Chains A and B, each alone.
Chain A
Amino acid sequence: MKNWKKVAAVCMSIAVLTGVSACSPAAKQESDEVVLDVWHQFTDPESEQTKTFLAAVDNYESEHENIKIELHGLDTESYKTKISTEFASSASGIDVFYYWSPGKLKQLVNADKVLPLNDYVTDEVMSRVKEGSTSAFEFGDDLYALPIDSYMMCLFCNKTLFEEAGAEIPSTYDELIAAGEKLQTLDGVTPLVIGAKDSWLAGALYEAVALREVGAGEVQAALLGETAFTNEGFKRAAEKVIELNQKGIFGKNPLEDGEPEATADFLNGKAAMQLDGSWFAGTIDNTEESVVTDVEVITFPVVSEGQSRTDYAGGASASFFVNKNTDTPAEAADFAIYIAEQMGSKALEIGSGFPCWNVDVDESALSPTFVSLYNLYNSVETGIQNWDGILDANATAVHLEQAQSLLVEGASAESFMKAHQEAISTQE
């Protein structure tokens, strides 16, 4: 019994001391420190985007002594899974998170998981954002994030290989086939690498053709369910992808390789064209081992002569959002706005995309491929995001697996259409 009393006395003493120390000035100062848990997908240490992101985080911490940023980074595919799982529970360990809008974000907004930033975005901040670039982040009257940059899907062409094969850079679908046939005669060269093992790239390929077949307005309307997914152009686009594959334009087995392998092929001079986002320009210019020296960037060829080329696949789609359950909404919102502006302002410099912020562009500082890309970007008008940024999760999965299915033996445009019609019509 005596021992019990001793133990109780020691416990009481510890409790009292802890209580007293919690009220001391030192502890008060400590409790003023705000820790922001920031979830992101910038994990490639070689990437300029990662370097820019980390530098911006360091700057923010040094400018705000009471704020500490805890970073939680995963590569893109793992990140998507992990963050969905987090939000399926309380997501209590997330204050700020990188995400894709409007498609994927809509689900979180509907579940009331995202903090609108209306109260935190001042007129002064908005004056620095390019007009019209926030639409992907608005639902109703609420603005959920400020954009970072815009991207654009393009065809990157290795002009040296085109010259060797005596082929012209294609501007129409027929020219693409003609160039592909000539390029196939070069030993070990794939005319156009897709990296379709990564399903979003298979999707991007189909989307590029569909955009030319039906136009940005019709694509947008069909994906949002405003019109049925019955336009014959969608079917023709599927048939064209099948045709290109059967003609060997994408190599023997386009589904065997993902984006890294496709990129390696292009940079090693084993592929004459690569379909990828604008960020690929930075990769081309910053990879020292690359044997590719002369690159022309074009938008995807049109399907008929004289067709307008002003529609493009791309836009502002991803940014940093604030978890509605955060304990520190003001600090989290301030950081989300800061990091979007910092990364957006550097987008041109690092070749990741086109800034959605008003920045002065010094073309002499840009990489050569990016200058060509920037000129192309200035010539297009109506952008539509990759479909996985617009469709809901289920329809996205169906779309991407169906886009891959166009590249297998026995592919069928009819079953492609049927699967899309079912998936898109059941979207909420």
Chain B
Amino acid sequence: MKRLLSNKLYIAIFVAPALILFIAMGVVPLFITGYYGLFDYDGIGKKTFIGLQNYIDLFAADAYFLKSILNSFILAAGSLFVQLPIALLLAILLANGVKGEGFYRTVFFLPVVISSMVIGQLWCKIFNSDGLLNAILGFFGCTDDIAWLVNSKTAYMTTVIPAVWQSIGYHMVILYAGVKNISPEYYEAAKLDGATGFKAAMKITIPLLMPTIKVSATFALVGSLRVFDLVYVMTGGGPNHASEVPATLMYDNLFVKCRYGYGSAQAFFIVFECLLFSFLLNCIFKKSEENASAI
């Protein structure tokens, strides 16, 4: 077996199917998208080469694109600083043998299984002016029926809340598996040194969980930067573009406004942005990961 694996031809043969698929389905379309971004193209007629003009227009001439990036950063912040800590807390609590562990795990994971379309509709009913939220506020004496979904000041937050809520279970399961993977010997040793409960979580669980936290953080960050479904279902980017994210603008340009070249430039930017932030996150977590593996 060892001889087999040291032969480069065999390695190439084994790697080739997956590599070819990855290149054909991932890398090539990415570069084709980037290439289309160099054209003034309506998706059906003739293409006119305009160099980097579309990419420049993203930042110089588009009244909504920068705002949409800012919106995606708000969601990213919500995911990293609200969603992940809650997921981590739940994961640690459940992994420490809470009664009904399996039941709670299923309940927290349930929103992940439900389609975003359904989640969107559900939260629309909550945020509608005659919805649940206003009914609760009305109970406490606030009788202004606020139209959360169509008010430009609140519309985007109505999409951030369900987006953060929906994926808590997803990250909880990843982190839960990570916590379960930590050898009990560490806790036994820590117990002898007097570290239990919160202290053990801070000194043992979280440092050893850093590689898993990095994975979760990457998924959360990238997922936020390219968010589409919930925003599209709940507000469609409105009112008056107040809740746009880069992917809703991209969809609009590609399929509604028939600005295929410009939409492709936006799509390419989203991929580039995701890769860049994944790289930055890797750099940030590098030290903690090294510490974890040193243990």
* Bound: A235/B2 CA distance, A: 79
Chain B residues with Cβ below 8 Å from A84 are 43-44, 255, 258
* Bound: A110/B44 CA distance, A: 9
Chain A residue with the shortest CB-CB distance to B44: A111
* Residues of B56-86 whose CB lies within 8 A of A: none
- Interface flag for B282 (CB, 8 Å): no
**Binary CB contact string for chain A from 229 to 252 against chain B (1 if under 8 A, 0 otherwise):** 000000000000000000000001
- Interface flag for A87 (CB, 8 Å): yes
Stretch from B6-14, B213-221, B233-241, B287-295 contacting the other chain = B233-241
- Interface flag for A71 (CB, 8 Å): no
Q: A81-B255, A393-B258, A408-B150 are in contact. Are A107 and B241 (CB under 8 A)?
A: no
**Binary CB contact string for chain A from 329 to 347 against chain B (1 if under 8 A, 0 otherwise):** 0000000000000000000
- Interface flag for B257 (CB, 8 Å): yes
Chain B residues with Cβ below 8 Å from A410 are 152
Q: Is the CB of A107 within 8 A of B147?
A: no
Chain A residues with Cβ below 8 Å from B152 are 408-410
Chain A residues with Cβ below 8 Å from B241 are 401
- Interface flag for A227 (CB, 8 Å): no
Q: Is the CB of B45 within 8 A of A252?
A: no
Chain B residue with the shortest CB-CB distance to A402: B240
Q: Is the CB of B44 within 8 A of A108?
A: yes
Q: Is the CB of B151 within 8 A of A409?
A: yes
Interface bracket on A = 20 to 34
- Interface flag for B259 (CB, 8 Å): yes
- Interface flag for A76 (CB, 8 Å): no
Q: Is the CB of A107 within 8 A of B257?
A: no
Chain A residues with Cβ below 8 Å from B238 are 255, 401, 404
Q: Is the CB of B150 within 8 A of A88?
A: no
- Interface flag for B129 (CB, 8 Å): yes
> Distance in Å from the Cβ of A114 to the closest Cβ of chain B?
11
Q: Is the CB of A256 within 8 A of B42?
A: no
Chain A residues with Cβ below 8 Å from B255 are 81, 84-85
- Interface flag for B256 (CB, 8 Å): yes
Chain B residue with the shortest CB-CB distance to A405: B240
- Interface flag for B260 (CB, 8 Å): yes
Q: Is the CB of B256 within 8 A of A256?
A: no
Chain B residue with the shortest CB-CB distance to A77: B256
* Residues of A124-180 whose CB lies within 8 A of B: none
- Interface flag for B212 (CB, 8 Å): no
Q: Is the CB of A397 within 8 A of B44?
A: no
Chain A residues with Cβ below 8 Å from B252 are 397
- Interface flag for A394 (CB, 8 Å): yes
Q: Is the CB of B129 within 8 A of A253?
A: yes
Residue in B149, B257, B259 whose beta carbon sits within 8 Å of that of A256 in the complex: B149
Chain A residue with the shortest CB-CB distance to B240: A405
- Interface flag for A68 (CB, 8 Å): no
Chain B residues with Cβ below 8 Å from A88 are 43-44, 260
Chain B residues with Cβ below 8 Å from A309 are none
Chain A residues with Cβ below 8 Å from B46 are 111
- Interface flag for A113 (CB, 8 Å): yes
**Binary CB contact string for chain B from 146 to 169 against chain A (1 if under 8 A, 0 otherwise):** 010111100000000000000000
- Interface flag for B145 (CB, 8 Å): yes
* Bound: A252/B144 CA distance, A: 11
* Residues of B13-68 whose CB lies within 8 A of A: 42-46
Q: A404-B240, A409-B152 are in contact. Are A252 and B44 (CB under 8 A)?
A: no
Which of A253, A404, A407: most chain B CB closer than 10 A? A253
Chain B residue with the shortest CB-CB distance to A398: B257
- Interface flag for B205 (CB, 8 Å): no
* Bound: A252/B45 CA distance, A: 43
Query: What are 24 of the A-B contact pairs (CB < 8 Å)?
Result: A84-B255, A84-B258, A87-B44, A88-B43, A107-B44, A107-B258, A253-B150, A255-B150, A255-B239, A256-B129, A256-B147, A256-B149, A256-B150, A392-B258, A394-B257, A394-B258, A394-B259, A397-B257, A404-B238, A404-B239, A404-B240, A405-B239, A405-B240, A408-B152
Given A108-B44, A255-B238, A407-B239, 12 new contacts (CB under 8 A): A85-B255, A87-B43, A88-B43, A107-B45, A111-B46, A256-B147, A393-B258, A397-B256, A401-B238, A405-B240, A408-B150, A408-B151
A residues engaging B (CB < 8 A)?
81, 84-85, 87-88, 107-108, 110-111, 113, 252-253, 255-256, 392-394, 397-398, 401, 404-405, 407-410
B residues engaging A (CB < 8 A)?
42-46, 128-129, 145, 147, 149-152, 238-241, 252, 255-260
Return the 7 tightest CB-CB contacts between A and B, nearest first.
A393-B258, A253-B147, A88-B43, A405-B240, A255-B150, A111-B45, A394-B257
